[in-house]
Amino acid sequence: MIPAPSGKKFRSKPQLARYLGNTVDLSSFDFRTGKMMPSKLQKNKQRLRNDPLNQNKGKPDLNTTLPIRQTASIFKQPVTKVTNHPSNKVKSDPQRMNEQPRQLFWEKRLQGLSASDVTEQIIKTMELPKGLQGVGPGSNDETLLSAVASALHTSSAPITGQVSSAAVEKNPAVWLNTSQPLCKAFIVTDEDIRKQEERVQQVRKKLEEALMADILSRAADTEEMDIEVDKKERQRENEQSELES
């Protein structure tokens, strides 16, 4: 019988092995004397070195107890979970987790940038409706246009603007709604929708006229090429007839 430091007694070597688990190698331990046998320990080391399949062999799992937290001590120690606010619940928003974190006022980095066409001419920026007004420190028309364009391309949510515009002006780092662009809250009326429809119709009409002009110009170019080809063929025929005569 071997007593443990905790006072527990073991009557056999298998019982001791089940208690210790895989933390201690008892293959060279003599249960009768309660000591490690140097001769057996040396033989085990030599056998492990000469056995090429030892790496593929798993250790026997003699521990049948429930898994507990592994600490520096080999004896069981209970773990207690302590929380300062047990009534709080953690809620996860899957849409918020998928979004990549961004800096506040990141749209201002687009300020001063402009697009150009194939001829390297700067494209004139579009004019926003008068109902859209910027909000935040150093807000201007360029920042507002960049913010609205970025929101339209990067988010599928409706654009309503910053609801608490006054609070955003006082402390933007706290009250800014990062899911909305840097503009004040606005309301789209029926008159705005009618004006937008008229603009769309005008742009479509201009596009139709441009396409028709392009089609007519291509047809005229094709007709001129056909006339030139006919002239060259007639000249060749006349030259051949003169040579034959």
Summarised one tens digit per residue, pLDDT across range 165-181 is 788 778 877 778 888 88
The rounded distance, in Å, linking the Cα atoms of 26 and 180 is 66
* 166 and 203 co-located in one domain: no
The pLDDT profile of the chain, 245 residues, written as one tens digit per residue, is 555 556 667 677 777 777 777 777 777 777 777 777 766 655 665 665 555 555 555 555 555 555 555 556 555 677 777 778 777 776 655 555 566 677 777 777 777 777 788 888 888 877 777 778 888 777 777 778 888 888 888 777 888 888 887 887 788 777 788 888 888 888 888 888 898 899 999 999 999 999 999 999 888 888 888 888 888 888 888 888 777 76
- From 186, 207, 230, the end of a domain falls on 186
> What is the extent of the structural domain holding 232?
188-244
Cα-to-chain-centroid distance, residue 47: 52
Q: What stretch of H or E contains 9?
A: strand 9-10
- From 152, 167, 186, the end of a domain falls on 186
The rounded distance, in Å, linking the Cα atoms of 71 and 74 is 7
- Triad 87, 176, 192: Cα angle to 5°: 125
> Residue 154: phi, psi to the nearest 5?
-105, -10
Q: Is residue 27 part of a domain?
A: yes
Determine the pLDDT at residue 198: 94
Determine the pLDDT at residue 227: 82
The rounded distance, in Å, linking the Cα atoms of 155 and 102 is 14
CATH assignment of the domain containing 9:
3.30.890.10
Determine the pLDDT at residue 156: 79
Q: Is residue 193 part of a domain?
A: yes
Determine the pLDDT at residue 59: 56
Q: Is residue 217 part of a domain?
A: yes
Give the gyration radius of the chain's Cα atoms: 42
Determine the pLDDT at residue 212: 93
* 238 and 217 co-located in one domain: yes
Summarised one tens digit per residue, pLDDT across range 9-34 is 767 777 777 777 777 777 777 777 77
Count the domains in the chain: 3
* 158 and 141 co-located in one domain: yes
Determine the pLDDT at residue 124: 80
CA distances, 129 to each of 117, 124, 162, 183, 186 (Å): 24, 16, 17, 12, 11
SS3 of residue 89 by DSSP = coil
Determine the pLDDT at residue 62: 56
Do 234 and 227 form a contact (C-beta atoms < 8 A)?
A: no
Torsion on CA atoms 211, 216, 217, 218, rounded to nearest 10? 90
CA distances, 68 to each of 5, 7, 153 (Å): 20, 21, 51
The rounded distance, in Å, linking the Cα atoms of 225 and 237 is 19
Determine the pLDDT at residue 72: 61
